[in-house]
Chains A and B, each alone.
Chain A
Amino acid sequence: MNNPIKIAVYSGVSPSTTFIERLIGGLAKKGLKVFIFGQQNHKKTSSENIFYFTYKNKLSKSLFLIKYCFLLSLYKGKEKKRLDKIILSKKRNSKLLKVKYYPVLYHCPDIFHMQWAKSIEDWMWVQEFGMKLILSLRGTHVTISPIADERWKIKYSEYFHEIDGFHAVSKSMLSISELYGVEFSKMNIVKSGLDLRRLPFNSKTKKSGLVRIISIGRNHWVKGYTYALKCMKFLKEKGIDFHYTIVGVDTNEELLYQRSQFGLKNEVSFIDKMSFEEVLKKISMSNVLLLPSVEEGIANVVLEAMALGTLVVSTDCGGMDEVLTNNENGFIVPIRDAEAMAEALHTVSDLSLENYNKITKAARAFIEKQHSHKKMIQEMNELYKQVINK
């Protein structure tokens, strides 16, 4: 194909998560035309291949709707009528759907790449207008929702087999999706890629007495912080000198209560969300990154810590065992097991500087090989080509 592929990377909002933004930037650099639709919350990234068709407030939504109503009536009258029928059949707020749908129909990308599974029902229509539909399998939308709520399971089973291609961040995600009837041939693993220039590796130069442990993640039960707190209680009982910081959970009542119950006020701090740069700095300054989650795809924060040279202790959830090999490039413990977690942290605190750096170097090498930004963009591009040429 001579013309560059036009691809909509859709997450509903812009800017999206760090990972999705990185994907957008990488694709644009590669020469693909990237279309962004949805709600614009903050500043746009300016790049010659990124095109924003986004709206902000109520007024801009109305103007946006008028504009695309006019453009579609003028240039794509027939298609507009067909889409209007589809919108009508959805029996939902049709004005809102028009604001979301019209620009997509007008700009008609070759591929509509949905980032979150729960919006699947909203976007099946794009296939009727020649666009290919790709879904990224990531997050609790795939790992938790269909298990805890039958409605999602039914929806996924109904729609998944019609989708043109899937992108999963780990093998574990693929095996979950098989439950909903996804054909194996449509599934592709594209692992998260990191911009390694921004993540310089730092060997630790001296062994400090205090073990600095850090966890980073949103304020959600899936992150398993209650197990981490219990683990810290065991560490304290073992007489280990440590400090544990959780970034992103400032005022979680459950954690506040358990911290007080376990007598960990001096040993555990909770910090509100911070910028990506600050997070990287915090990770670099810590001795251990702890991932106590009960479920994950592959946690990006683990990849980042591995790149930076901070040792990782993680639960064996989701795809984490595709990244970590116990005692080689990190430590991996069973889920929901605070004692095992404490045992691993104890082992880490006893490591000699030499052994510590041996493990973190192995981790860095793994990331360079498996999770480079270049590799991710390359593989994603291949996935797009494959779907278009089907």
Chain B
Amino acid sequence: MRIGLVLPKVPAYSETFFLNKIKGLEKHGHSVVVFVNSSEKRQNSSFKVKVAPKLYGNKLKVGIVSISKLLYAFLFHFKGSFRLFKLLRKDGMSFLQSIKNIISNVHILSETLDWLHFGFGTMALNKEYVAKAIGAKMAVSFRGFDIGMYPLKNPNCYAKLWENVDKIHVISNDIEELVYKNGFNGKASIVKITPAIDTTFFKKRAQQVTTVPTNFITIARLHWKKGLVYTLEALAILKKEGIPFHYTLIGDGTEMERLKFAAYQLGISNQITFSGKIPHESIKDKLQNSDVYLQYSIQEGFCNAVLEAQAMGLLCIVSDAEGLSENIIDKETGWVVPSCNPRLLANKIKEVIRLEESEKKSVSLNAQKRVKEHFNLEKQQLEFVNFYI
């Protein structure tokens, strides 16, 4: 089979999810074409990469690109282009808009595919008819932000998608629920394939377990949806109650100023290390030196970092945002706390660090075992191969 994958950009080395999927498909004899928007430099890859035409910036350039791409589409890929034009016109799109749509999708129209898979729901917007035009089946992945947040700002944005999609991939049950909540008509089948991690890399090293866990850690993009202000507020409660701890926050992002100020205002600057972004390889060491992993997100698709922390044997306390309550089984492989409530989080942290040694050990072992069995790369690869059958 020949499978086209539509993504914002070529997956970076750290984006195991996509790379592993591609690897798995190739291993099973399929070929993969990746369609991207930005033409950044990329590493050598086994798969073909096609970049969308650049339709912004200098108007003259855009004009020249548009005309040449349009001519190319109709001269060399007439069937697909004309079919797309007809589908769009039938849908009520104006003549000019239909032509524009053909131009912006020319990089996909020129390929022969069995499946066209959009890596995020938002990637499929304005491309709802492309798969049909080239005679391919259409698949879409929903991962969190695209279904939890985007439709709030753009109500009904997926109406056309629901009409045209052949198969939907979600990363958790909560995301599936959100798909239905956002108007999905049930016409296509939904398949859940959770994220996975390299369980041979993230493995607990034998070490002495600290009796009183005091090193807390979070690895996250510093974005509001990660609920980090709530996390800091919970830690401030702990400090007030005289509980010793040190918190390491790894990651960078737009919220740095907000978080540093919150830490200062809450009087916990000395208990926090803002590590910024660190190389993927060093993350393992940081996890190794920590006891409790916190992921108190407001909105979260699934969260690979929590899987990695579990694999490393950390005690994980997470919020109940979307996929997190599936990532962690409450009281078995970690603890799940209702989101946006620092008092509840603080109480849970206290409860966890005061647990009997044997209880902590048992949860940690359960988590390691579950991640190894259910969230490994091989399993994910197989699930994706089956997805297209």
Q: Which residues on A are within 8 Å of B, measured CB to CB?
A: 144-145, 147-149, 221-222, 226, 230, 251, 253-254, 256-258, 260-261, 294-295, 335-336
Judge whether A251 and B153 touch: CB under 8 Å: yes
Judge whether A256 and B152 touch: CB under 8 Å: yes
Q: Which residue of A lies closest to B339 (CB)?
A: A261
Q: How far is the CA of A294 from the CA of B232 in the complex (A)?
A: 14
Given contacts A257-B225, A258-B298, contact A144 B257 (CB under 8 A): yes
- The smallest beta-carbon distance between B348 and chain A, in angstroms, is 19
Closest 6 CB pairs of A and B: A148-B257, A148-B260, A254-B224, A221-B258, A147-B264, A256-B152
Interface of B, helix, strand, loop or mixed by DSSP: helix
Judge whether A257 and B257 touch: CB under 8 Å: no
Contacts of B122 in A (CB 8 A): none
Query: What is the interface residue range for chain B against chain A?
Result: 20 to 34
Q: How far is the CA of A149 from the CA of B148 in the complex (A)?
A: 32
- The smallest beta-carbon distance between B253 and chain A, in angstroms, is 13
Judge whether A260 and B260 touch: CB under 8 Å: no
Q: How far is the CA of A256 from the CA of B340 in the complex (A)?
A: 15
Contacts of A335 in B (CB 8 A): 265
Given contacts A251-B153, A253-B149, contact A261 B298 (CB under 8 A): yes
Judge whether A257 and B260 touch: CB under 8 Å: no
Q: How far is the CA of A294 from the CA of B262 in the complex (A)?
A: 9
Write the B310-349 contact mask toward A (1 if CB under 8 angstroms, else 0). 0000000000000000000000000000001000000000
Contacts of A149 in B (CB 8 A): 257, 260
Contacts of A260 in B (CB 8 A): 152
Judge whether B261 and A295 touch: CB under 8 Å: yes
Q: How far is the CA of A222 from the CA of B152 in the complex (A)?
A: 23
Q: List 13 A-B contacts (CB under 8 A).
A: A144-B261, A145-B257, A147-B260, A147-B264, A148-B258, A251-B153, A253-B149, A254-B224, A254-B298, A257-B152, A258-B298, A261-B340, A295-B261
Judge whether A257 and B149 touch: CB under 8 Å: yes
Contacts of A295 in B (CB 8 A): 261, 265
The verdict on B233 contacting chain A, using a C-beta distance below 8 Å, is yes
Contacts of B340 in A (CB 8 A): 230, 258, 261
Interface of A, helix, strand, loop or mixed by DSSP: helix
B255, B261, B298 — most chain A CB neighbours (10 Å) = B261
**Among residues 130 to 147 in chain B, which have CB atoms less than 8 Å away from a CB atom of chain A?**
none
Q: Total number of A-B contacts with CB less than 8 angstroms?
A: 51
- The smallest beta-carbon distance between B221 and chain A, in angstroms, is 14
A148-B260, A221-B255, A258-B298 are known contacts; what are 18 more A-B pairs with Cβ within 8 Å?
A144-B257, A147-B260, A147-B261, A148-B258, A149-B257, A221-B224, A222-B261, A230-B340, A253-B149, A253-B152, A256-B153, A257-B225, A260-B152, A261-B298, A294-B262, A294-B265, A295-B261, A336-B266
Q: Which residues on B are within 8 Å of A, measured CB to CB?
A: 148-149, 152-153, 224-225, 229, 233, 255-258, 260-262, 264-266, 298-299, 340
Q: How far is the CA of A387 from the CA of B224 in the complex (A)?
A: 45
Contacts of A145 in B (CB 8 A): 257
Q: How far is the CA of A257 from the CA of B178 in the complex (A)?
A: 14
Q: How far is the CA of A147 from the CA of B149 in the complex (A)?
A: 31
- The smallest beta-carbon distance between A181 and chain B, in angstroms, is 19
A145, A221, A222, A294 — most chain B CB neighbours (10 Å) = A221
Contacts of A253 in B (CB 8 A): 149, 152-153, 224
Q: How far is the CA of A46 from the CA of B199 in the complex (A)?
A: 71
Contacts of B299 in A (CB 8 A): 257
Q: How far is the CA of A226 from the CA of B260 in the complex (A)?
A: 17
- The smallest beta-carbon distance between B66 and chain A, in angstroms, is 28
Q: Which residue of A lies closest to B151 (CB)?
A: A260
Q: Which residue of A lies closest to B257 (CB)?
A: A148
Contact of B261 among A148, A254, A261 (CB under 8 A): A148
Contacts of A261 in B (CB 8 A): 298, 340
Q: How far is the CA of A227 from the CA of B301 in the complex (A)?
A: 24
Q: Which residue of A lies closest to B150 (CB)?
A: A253
- The smallest beta-carbon distance between A176 and chain B, in angstroms, is 12
Q: How far is the CA of A297 from the CA of B352 in the complex (A)?
A: 40
Judge whether B149 and A148 touch: CB under 8 Å: no
Q: Which residue of B lies closest to A294 (CB)?
A: B265
Contacts of B229 in A (CB 8 A): 226
Q: How far is the CA of A142 from the CA of B110 in the complex (A)?
A: 56
Contacts of A257 in B (CB 8 A): 148-149, 152, 225, 298-299
Q: Which residue of B lies closest to A230 (CB)?
A: B340
Q: How far is the CA of A257 from the CA of B321 in the complex (A)?
A: 12
Q: How far is the CA of A261 from the CA of B257 in the complex (A)?
A: 25
